[in-house]
A and B are shown apart, each in its own frame.
Chain A
Amino acid sequence: MSVLEGKELRIVGFLCNWCSYGGADTAGVGRFTQPTDLRIIRVPCSGRINPLFVMKALIGGADGVLVSGCHPRDCHYAEGNYYARRRLEVLKGLLPVLGINPSRFEYTWVSASEGQRWQHVVETFTARIHALGPAQAFAGTTGPANHNRADAMVS
């Protein structure tokens, strides 16, 4: 698996409960192998995805963010993904001016039955993020004064 060559990266996935999470499940049940960089956060609907979730992840150091919901006309709540589509499409306009490579963010639609498609989406997006490499964190953090993660390891 070429995408797993080298270090695993941190990709955050926001998946709607009804379609894409099901699709990921189908992929798992079908034993479609997938790269393991993606950390999935399940939300009720892609319409629940606040664009700030994406931004918080990216500014917080995520190497990539993937959003996936039900296909248009297929939303469990009838129209959540339509709102999501507009919000996320608009959000793409913010990334380059902030200094974040817009390729680090993508949204797509995967239904619960599309296990194979889910595999394809994850592979494609993971490969894209690996091609970009790890994201550089925003400088200007007070570091140890803020969070003593090293201390947390002491036990």
Chain B
Amino acid sequence: MSAETVKKFISFDALPGFLARAAEHGTVYAPRREGSAVVYRPLKPGDAPELGARPTESCKHVVFPRSETLFSFAGKADAAQPAVRRPVLTESPEPGPAVVFGALSCDARGFLAFDPVYKGSGTGGAAADTYYLRRRSRTLLVVKACKSALNTCFCNWVGGGPASAQGADVLAVEAEQGLVLDILSEQGAIFAETLPAASEGQVGAALAAVKAVEDSLPKAAELSAAPAALASLFSSAEFWKNESAHCLYCGACTYLCPTCYCFNITDESDGLSGVRLRSWDNCMSPLFTLEASGHNPRPNKADRLKNRVGHKFSYYPSLHAGRFSCCGCGRCIKSCPSSVDIRKIVLDAVKEAANV
């Protein structure tokens, strides 16, 4: 939390009412417990967000839905030859505004990995992802600072922290039976404009809370050698075979990851009409790169895990000013059914490359 920004305060008691009013302007997503999982769901007006619950999934689907319609098409009779139907395309409607209330700081940082790619960095901005950008610009991120770190958390390894403000419009820190809101953007200011300023005591308590959790994190591992190490191990088949041995190549890691941004485009049709969908895709699946000829450049799970780790810690940083495409949320570790640990893979790679 910086000293220059405006600080507001809201008590937990006032929160449901405040968010109900916010919901009049757009969908408010907040963490909710469902079974053993915690998911981001639209908040029912009057309900309190479950801020103590750490979401199992990231909130990327608010901006990058699991599946979204790019456009629909329907056959329309040709003016000249009425027997011929020609597809008429209709772009999907503009999305409404949204607020994610209680995002984790790693979730907000995840969008920072999306942003340059979806702004069209690959084409020099010539082809930007309009669908992503319009949702992104209309989604306000209120980050709730973590009160503790999990065994699987490593945000501080990759430039983040439990109360990092990166990518957030508002940073909320629990203090004195409420939240101190650090206002970080114009949109954040509009969101919180009806709220009173935080008192000095409240701000002090929030700062102390942030410091306490930051101090509780284990020391960050040094990853600066990772990009070169991973690049140098591209042909080390044995290394990747061992690292991937227990991986069952499902998509849990990619779909829970706040920075995994790959997608598929497919058509669904009932013959006369249909839609072109863009849906999440998963580089751990053999189908991701399977060509129509049957050729697959990444036929084994070792090839695919290598690409996944390589992308996050080597390829992406080489294209985006050294920034890792990983926010250290640890969900891929926490939710991996076979306990694959990306931290271990990266550290093993650094060690292995040093030995070669």
CB A11 to nearest CB in B, in angstroms, measures 20
Do the beta carbons of B68 and A145 come within 8 Å of each other? Answer: yes
Q: Which of B67, B68, B275 has the most CB of A within 10 A?
A: B275
Do the beta carbons of B75 and A152 come within 8 Å of each other? Answer: yes
Stretch touching chain A among B36-44, B169-177, B266-274 = B266-274
B72 at the A interface (CB under 8 A): yes
Do the beta carbons of B274 and A147 come within 8 Å of each other? Answer: yes
CA of A151 to CA of B76 in the docked complex: distance in angstroms?
Answer: 9
Task: Kindly list chain A residues whose C-beta atoms are within 8 Å of the C-beta of B74.
Answer: 148, 151-152, 154
Known pairs A142-B67, A145-B69, A145-B92; A152 contacts B268 (CB<8 A): no
Do the beta carbons of A152 and B270 come within 8 Å of each other? Answer: yes
Task: Kindly list chain A residues whose C-beta atoms are within 8 Å of the C-beta of B85.
Answer: 155
Instruction: Count how many chain A residues have C-beta atoms less than 8 Å from C-beta atoms of the other chain.
Output: 10
CA of A151 to CA of B75 in the docked complex: distance in angstroms?
Answer: 8
B90 at the A interface (CB under 8 A): yes
Task: Kindly list chain B residues whose C-beta atoms are within 8 Å of the C-beta of A145.
Answer: 68-69, 92, 275
B77 at the A interface (CB under 8 A): yes
Task: Kindly list chain B residues whose C-beta atoms are within 8 Å of the C-beta of A147.
Answer: 268, 270, 273-275
Binary A-proximity of B54-91 (CB < 8 A = 1, otherwise 0): 00000000000001110010111100000001001010
CB A151 to nearest CB in B, in angstroms, measures 4
CB A142 to nearest CB in B, in angstroms, measures 7
Question: Which listed residue, A142, A149, A155, touches B270 by the CB 8 Å rule?
Answer: A149
Do the beta carbons of B270 and A151 come within 8 Å of each other? Answer: no
CB A140 to nearest CB in B, in angstroms, measures 12
A146 at the B interface (CB under 8 A): yes
CB B140 to nearest CB in A, in angstroms, measures 23
Task: Kindly list chain A residues whose C-beta atoms are within 8 Å of the C-beta of B90.
Answer: 148, 151
Binary B-proximity of A128-155 (CB < 8 A = 1, otherwise 0): 0000000000000010011111011011
Task: Kindly list chain A residues whose C-beta atoms are within 8 Å of the C-beta of B275.
Answer: 145-148
CA of A155 to CA of B84 in the docked complex: distance in angstroms?
Answer: 11
A-B contact pairs, 9 of them (CB 8 A): A145-B92, A146-B69, A146-B277, A147-B268, A147-B270, A147-B273, A148-B275, A152-B74, A154-B74
Interface, chain A (partner B; CB < 8 A): 142, 145-149, 151-152, 154-155
